[in-house]
Structure 1
Amino acid sequence: MFDLLITGGTLINANGQKRADIGIRNGRIAALLAPGETAMARSFVDASGMQLLPGLVDAHAHLREPGLTQKEDFESGTRAAALGGVTTILDMPTDDPWTATAAQLSQKMARAAGRLNVDVGFQAVVSKNDEALDELLSLSPVSLELFTADVPEEFRFDSLDVVTEMLRRLAKAAPVIGISPGDQSILEASAGRDGKGISAFLEGRPPLAEAGGIARAVLAAAETGARVHVRQINSKRGIEVWQRLRDLADVSVETTPQNLFFTADDYAGQAGADLKGSPPFRDREDVEALRHALSEGLITIMATDHAPHARAEKSATYPAFADIPGGMPGLQTLLFVMLDLVAEKLIDLSALVRLCAYNPARRFGLGRSKGSIAVGCDADILVVDLNRSTSIFNADQATRAGYTPFDGRRTVGYLTDVFLRGERIVRNGALLLPNRGQIVRHVA
């Protein structure tokens, strides 16, 4: 007997779709049955006419705890995720303090225990003091993050040589290594020139810096055999470099939904501070190149870079545009803006699952339990009605930031239910069962 049987829906996986009923037992998918096949269950959900997607896996989010909880915390961030159908978050290490040691990662996990509305895997940062790296890796973080620019010096690997040497050290021991493709030399040179406005901010983080960072990451991975994931690419030049070099090594790349909808021109508007982040938005030509790359399958993962700030922080006056805290919320809106891309026919539903669930789960060591509606996987399931729409408003956002860059957007599709390990945690936009999330770890 099943604990739950979900009937009548169409299953959407990375490799296609099919009609099937889902039998769930002990939090996992126990069977996929032919539509209408007789089966016994303690409870039933009728999903007739609905699309059933695996819960989304966001590979790049900042939950801001510890130390920055005026911006976000584990409860608020995972609540936003649950309401948006993101059932697994991979949390970045740039809190206060940065998560660089086994002690810091253990303390972070202890703070999170019992306070998560969805599952969370933790990512740790590589520092130049890596003496206790083995102890850190024993806690099975889902990635190690290596930064090349715009971060404190102790975490900055700003040349091909130091990146390569660290990847050589990590290649056999570590899970995937995330690399943000910046260029400290360009950033420092631009900072020495006059200008504190938007143009000066853009000048310090040009497509050239991104393209050079991508090339450096791929070449270092090829030299060392390390598994690398390149964070947030969004320029035409960066895509061109990635397309030419990607076969040299085991490297994946991500972008974010906001990179597909906004350009640098939007900084000049009233919401410019809210939209400020890094990498900066690019020109219309770059956006079109990125959309084409997405439709052609050149982008591996779609993540949010959910990075909220308190309203007072974003709205304060700063000496320069570059000084405005960078980042914006994204967990609660990921599914809906991706469904809009499906409606535009830029991608299909299987590509949405591949980009937002299957690929991130596999890349970060969670592929045995997350990212697919398949026997043996966790029963993390979204029930989506494509015959309805969703209107996104600031007032509905659960993040502490209290806004979304997509405010006022009406999107295709409505999320009726969210299941986490077989429990219905969300129904029609309301969180029914809080604190059901668990900490997940990389599995080799």
Structure 2
Amino acid sequence: MNILLKNGFLLTENGLEKLDIQISNSKIKEVSKNISISKEFDKIFDFTNKFIIPGGIDVHTHLNIDVGIKSADDFVSGGLAAIFGGTTTIIDHPGFGPDRCSLDFQINLYKNYAKSCPIDYSFHGVIQHIPSDIREQMLKLKSDGITSFKLYLTYTYLMNDLDILKVFEIAQDLDLTIAVHAENHGIIEFLKNKFKNEKKLSAIYHAKSRPDYSEAEAVQRLLLLAKTANFNRLYFVHISCKKSLDILSKAKKDGQLFFVESCPQYLLLNENKYLEENGNDYILSPPLRKEEDNKAICLALNSGLIDIIATDHCSFSKENKDSGRSDFTKCPNGIPGIEERIPLMFSEFLKGNITAKSFLNSCCLNPAKIFGLFPQKGTLSVNSDADIVILSLENFNFKNPKSQAKYSCFDYIDSLAKVHSVFIRGNIVLDEYKLVENAYTGVFLPRK
């Protein structure tokens, strides 16, 4: 099937340029000015005064996760929210599996969960312990297209330094990426217990129990461990504060190689939200920080220190979030965000807060390059998948999100752009704001 997209303004790293796009079957065949209309096209779309970007890639989602409380979004509802938000590919972080389970246990489980996902998907492996055959298990998953793994410095299956060094050494040898949740477990547990004993249990004490220095210490330690193991594919998930960014900036200037992810919430929201009546809605880890941290995230994004803006989409119902209204320790950690990321970040570009290059790199290109999907994904280049998002210039808000969480932490922010239409592999799945039913079923993406 041949499709022509006419008259749209394509976002390039130099800004907006009026270009046409020809799609042949599932791939992009041509991107140029004034492609002539002919009988060879089965369908022609006129996107005059609309913006065109590559399909967004969100490399940090938690769909179908069970933390004792089941998440609001599974791969169907989360995938639909992603479409309305201009995201066409996700790489999901599975939750923890049974104690001592093999590395492929959760991957096999999640492949079954995701079989009806309406967008393309892949997974990160999750490392809970270090079995004697961990190298063989990691190599096996690599052969199946799982080329990144996540470990934690906090929560139930936190890793000690020696275990981390073992993982880094194997990953360097196998050319794998290791994503790490960087927070100091001891600091968090000490402060959490302190506040519980003092009956300080409102939402703001969630933030106070996970101070910025608990993240910064973990970041510094991971850099030293990576340096010790000569490991150069360390990926920091959801970096939230200036203290961490200052450490990362110095390490980068010293020549160390690593990747940095942040999220819209750390750019646009701050800890004052915890003081509001519904402050428990904003409980996530790391917590929201201060306004100075928002500014530092913006500077780091524009300088290229932050490689990727993902979401850490981990949604729970209002009822579940309200279970922590009087005790932050009982509130499930996580907020929705898969629908909001692209419109919010594109709005930041339109406002002049971030550059076109920063937007494209962080939301589309770098996720594909770092996680082995480029040039199939992340770019509007000839022979790439025709994953294309069209945005219209209009004010709207997120007061009626598609996520089954049924609320948005960004509902008070007016976005300047709205997702108008979405193509995945040349199939139109959102047409003038309306979902096209059964237009496409996502596929598992083995990564390089």
Same fold (TM over 0.5): yes
- Aligned residue for 2:89? 88
1:316 aligns with 2:320: no
Q: 1:349-428 to 2 correspondence within 5 Å? A: 349-386=356-393, 388-393=394-399, 396-428=400-432
Decide whether aligned partners of structure 1 residues 297 and 104 sit closer, same or farther in structure 2, where only a CA change above 3 A counts: closer
- Whether contact under 8 Å (1:383, 1:418) holds in the other structure is yes
Please list every run of 5 or more consecutive structure 1 residues that lacks an aligned counterpart in the other structure: none
Q: 1:236-255 to 2 correspondence within 5 Å? A: 236-247=242-253, 248-255=255-262
Q: Aligned AA for 1:137?
A: K
- Aligned residue for 1:233? 239
- Aligned residue for 1:162? 163
Q: 1:81-120 to 2 correspondence within 5 Å? A: 81-94=82-95, 101-113=103-115, 115-120=116-121
C-alpha displacement of 1:318? 6.4
Decide whether aligned partners of structure 1 residues 401 and 97 sit closer, same or farther in structure 2, where only a CA change above 3 A counts: farther
Q: 1:315 & 1:391 partners in 2: Cα distance?
A: 23
Aligned residues: CA RMSD: 2.3
C-alpha displacement of 1:397? 1.6
C-alpha displacement of 1:443? 3.0
- Aligned residue for 1:59? 59
- Sequence identity, in percent? 26
For residues 17-52 of structure 1, the C-alpha deviation after alignment (integer angstroms, 9 at most, x for no partner) is 433221111201112233243553111111122211
Decide whether aligned partners of structure 1 residues 95 and 402 sit closer, same or farther in structure 2, where only a CA change above 3 A counts: farther
Q: 2:204 & 2:365 partners in 1: Cα distance?
A: 38
For residues 351-396 of structure 1, the C-alpha deviation after alignment (integer angstroms, 9 at most, x for no partner) is 212110111111111112111100111100011122x222321xx2
Q: 2:206 & 2:321 partners in 1: Cα distance?
A: 16
C-alpha displacement of 1:408? 3.8
Decide whether aligned partners of structure 1 residues 36 and 304 sit closer, same or farther in structure 2, where only a CA change above 3 A counts: same
Q: TM-score, normalised by structure 1?
A: 0.91
The DSSP-based 3-state class of the residue aligned with 1:29 is: strand
- Whether contact under 8 Å (1:76, 1:400) holds in the other structure is yes
- Whether contact under 8 Å (2:62, 2:93) holds in the other structure is yes
- Whether contact under 8 Å (2:56, 2:86) holds in the other structure is yes
The DSSP-based 3-state class of the residue aligned with 2:409 is: coil
C-alpha displacement of 1:65? 4.9
Q: 2:97 & 2:73 partners in 1: Cα distance?
A: 12
For residues 41-94 of structure 1, the C-alpha deviation after alignment (integer angstroms, 9 at most, x for no partner) is 111111122211001001111112578655221111001001111101111111
Count matched residues. Answer: 435
Q: Aligned AA for 1:380?
A: D
Q: 2:35 & 2:324 partners in 1: Cα distance?
A: 61
C-alpha displacement of 1:156? 1.3
Decide whether aligned partners of structure 1 residues 175 and 440 sit closer, same or farther in structure 2, where only a CA change above 3 A counts: farther
Q: Aligned AA for 2:233?
A: R
Q: 1:383 & 1:17 partners in 2: Cα distance?
A: 13
- After TM superposition, the structure 1 stretch with the greater mean CA deviation from structure 2, 94-103 or 18-27, is 94-103
Q: 1:398 & 1:158 partners in 2: Cα distance?
A: 39
Q: 1:192 & 1:25 partners in 2: Cα distance?
A: 59
The DSSP-based 3-state class of the residue aligned with 2:174 is: coil
Q: 1:95 & 1:72 partners in 2: Cα distance?
A: 17
Q: TM-score, normalised by structure 2?
A: 0.90
- Aligned residue for 1:202? 207
Q: Aligned AA for 1:156?
A: L
C-alpha displacement of 1:317? 4.6
- Aligned residue for 1:338? 345
Q: 1:138-287 to 2 correspondence within 5 Å? A: 138-149=143-154, 151-152=155-156, 155-159=157-161, 161-193=162-194, 194-195=197-198, 196-197=200-201, 198=203, 200-223=205-228, 224-247=230-253, 248-287=255-294
- Whether contact under 8 Å (2:123, 2:146) holds in the other structure is yes
Q: 1:123-142 to 2 correspondence within 5 Å? A: 123-130=124-131, 131=133, 132-142=137-147
C-alpha displacement of 1:202? 3.0
- After TM superposition, the structure 1 stretch with the greater mean CA deviation from structure 2, 328-337 or 168-177, is 168-177
